Amino acid sequence: MALLLSVLAVGAILAVVFDAFGPERPIVVGPRTTVVTSPLAADGLPDYPAASLALAGPAPAPVDNAAVDLLRATWPMGLSPAELPRVCGALGIADEPPAQRLAPLDAPGASGGSVAVLTAAMDCRWPWRARERPDLATWLAANGSALDSLVAAADKPRYWFPCPSLLAPPPETLVDFARPDVNCLRDVSLLLESRALLHLGEGRHDAAWLDLRAIRRWARLIRDPGSGPTDPVALLTSVSCALVAEWAIAVHLLGDPDVPPDVIASVRVEYAAAETPIDLAARVRREWLRVHEMAVWTARRVPGSRTTRGVWASRQTGNPVAADIFASRLDWNAILECLHDSGEAMETAIRLPTYAARQAEVARLEAIWHATVPSPGATAWSKWPRLLSFIDARQRSTAAAHVILDTSSPASSEYVRWLATERATAELSRASAGLAAWRADQPPGTSPYPQRLDELVPRYLDGMPIDPFTDMPLRYERRGDGYLLMSVGHNGVDDGGDDEKHDIVDGRWSTEAEMGFSSRGDLVIRLPVPRRLPADPAGDASAAAAGTVD
């Protein structure tokens, strides 16, 4: 009996050792594991960079591709001497500097460089005049032709730009999906906004509208499904640029009582045009390829060296428990299947009918991934029950999959929030256009705005503007000579007209002392708008309100 027990004990020990340190099964290429089944790399596993490039489809003709104009205007767009010829070749254009381009925005400290120009532009976020910031006004005038070319390019039908890293020989590390065009578009949008506000400050409403409309259209171009290999930053940059345009359109352009009726009519035509909504689930599905690539790359990183995998996991998470899991024997097919199933669960969550339901389910999934592995600061007693569950390879594999999801999956909850925010601001702008049209039609001496928003339907609005956070109409109140128009924002609560930046507090424009960020989050349009001066060239905080509106 003693011998039998000894044999069983040795067998159990060997089984545990094999489970922890034995050889791993090879990865099976298939739709539920690797997802990508072709093209394949030399080792027989998927070539994810090639698959990502193929998903974007072929480049359109240069004349139809707005990305070509963005590259020419911002040449060399931060591309290295090795990257530039590859990108130009993929776009179908010559590798030659254009005659017309913006003064360098990637040379900090240079005359007219990014630090001076972009800092000045950030100081001028309200209508301003050239004499108030002559440095920025001079730069905008000198670069007017290049900016005009970008305004015209915003009307092009396509946008396609490749990640430079995908055009290079296969790297030994994970592919960098960063797209320099995204950073350039952020800068260009800031410059166009500043020029639009200069136009407004000096009474050129039609020119201001063209610049703001261009920002809005560029934001939609860069997130086109065929715009190029997926980059999470591209979608969030697109949304942030759109928010800049919507705010300036609703508040500064349409809120100006002197805006001409023909400009109001042009704005209304823009917002009446049908837009293809973002299929966020489809976009996340494409970005999920990067999650699978992370897993496959980790598995093949240094064949046979699990210690290296553990070091990688430690650097990614800062968690020694995660490092121990990755340094042990894992079932990579089980990991990939877990990633596949998690991606399908995320798609289902994103397709739920209401914002609250989508955000709650997405947050629940992300919380599961984040909580799988004990945190480094957990006490020893709280760690042990969880660590014991990782003795089994299946449990370790599930934990490893959740670590990968927690560190590399698309920021889905953030996407859900920001896309709803963008839609809300677009609805605010559409309603503002209807209210501006109403105001323009009122005879002198009468109330400039309706008592209720539904009075705009159907003459000024096709239907009631809907708050995507509640699926109810936007909230509207007549106040003084103007109005308060708002969405409740991502918290779903009416915070009384307090916006996140504290530009508006309790439904009125804030004083300089009140400005700052708030934990509350209504999205608010409040008219009339006070006059504010830009900060002076020395950077002093002299942008004081000329008055507040109650």
Q: How many separate domains does the chain show?
A: 3
Same domain, 203 and 300: no
Q: Residue 168 domain-assigned?
A: no
The last residue of a domain, from among 274, 295, 317:
274
Q: Is 463 contained in some domain? A: yes
Containing H/E element for 423?
A: helix 412-441
* Domain housing 27: 2-44+283-410
Look at residue 381 in the predicted model and tell me its pLDDT: 45
310 and 231 part of one domain = no
Structure tokens at 398: 């599930």
Which helix H or strand E contains 356, and what residues bound it?
Answer: helix 355-371
DSSP state of 102: P
Is the residue at 164 inside a domain? no
Angle at CA of residue 250, ends 245 and 253, nearest 5°: 85
405 and 430 in a common domain: no
Check: CB of residue 163 under 8 Å from CB of residue 231. yes
The answer to whether residue 165 is domain-embedded is no
- For residues 190 and 206, give the distance between their C-alpha atoms in angstroms, rounded to a whole number: 19
The confidence score (pLDDT) of residue 201 equals 95
Has residue 215 been placed in a domain?
yes
Contact predicate 239/422, CB 8 Å: yes
Residue type, 108: P
> 296 with 233, same domain?
no
Which pLDDT score, from 0 to 100, does residue 265 have?
A: 97
Same domain, 267 and 311: no
Computed over its alpha carbons, how large is the radius of gyration of the chain?
27
- Kindly state whether residues 31 and 76 are assigned to the same domain: no
| 390 within domain boundaries | yes
pLDDT tens track of the chain, all 550 residues? 665 455 444 444 444 444 445 567 889 999 999 999 999 888 888 988 888 888 878 889 999 999 999 999 999 998 999 999 999 999 999 999 998 888 875 444 333 345 678 888 888 889 999 999 998 999 999 999 999 999 999 999 999 998 888 887 766 666 667 788 888 899 999 999 999 999 999 999 999 999 999 999 999 998 876 776 666 778 888 899 999 999 999 999 999 999 999 999 999 999 998 777 788 888 888 888 888 888 888 887 655 566 777 777 777 777 777 777 888 888 999 999 999 999 999 999 999 999 999 999 999 999 888 887 766 665 544 554 455 555 677 888 888 898 888 887 777 888 899 889 999 999 999 999 999 999 999 998 888 999 999 999 999 999 999 999 999 999 999 998 899 999 999 888 888 887 777 678 877 887 654 555 555 678 999 999 887 777 654 444 333 333 333 3
Whole-model pTM: value is 0.87
Mark whether 31 and 150 lie in a shared domain.
Answer: no
State the SS3 of 453-503: HHHHCCCCCCCCCEECCCCEECEEEEECCEEEEEECCCCCCCCCCCECCCC
Instruction: Report pLDDT for 389.
Output: 52
Backbone angles phi, psi at 421, to 5 degrees: -65, -45
pLDDT at position 329, please? 81
Whether 389 and 465 map to the same domain: the answer is no
Asked if residue 157 has a cis previous peptide bond (ω within 30° of 0), the answer is no
Q: Indicate if 430 and 383 belong to the same structural domain.
A: no
Same domain, 326 and 404: yes
270 and 287 share a domain? no
Burial class (CB in 10 A: 0-12, 13-18, 19+), 236: middle
CA angle 511, 512, 514 (to 5 degrees): 70
Q: Are residues 228 and 319 in the same domain?
A: no
Measured CA to CA in angstroms, residue 244 lies from 65, 211, 212, 233, 454 at distances of 24, 12, 9, 16, 27
Say if 169 falls within a structural domain.
Answer: no
Name the domain boundary from 410, 439, 463. Answer: 410
Question: For residue 452, what pLDDT is reported?
Answer: 95
Task: Please provide the distance, in angstroms rounded to a whole number, between the alpha carbons at the two ends of the chain.
Answer: 91
Q: Please tell me the predicted confidence (pLDDT) of residue 125.
A: 85
Domain stop point among 228, 249, 274:
274
Q: What pLDDT is stored for residue 487 in this prediction?
A: 95
Rounded Cα distance, 341 and 331, in Å? 16
| Domain annotation covers residue 400 | yes
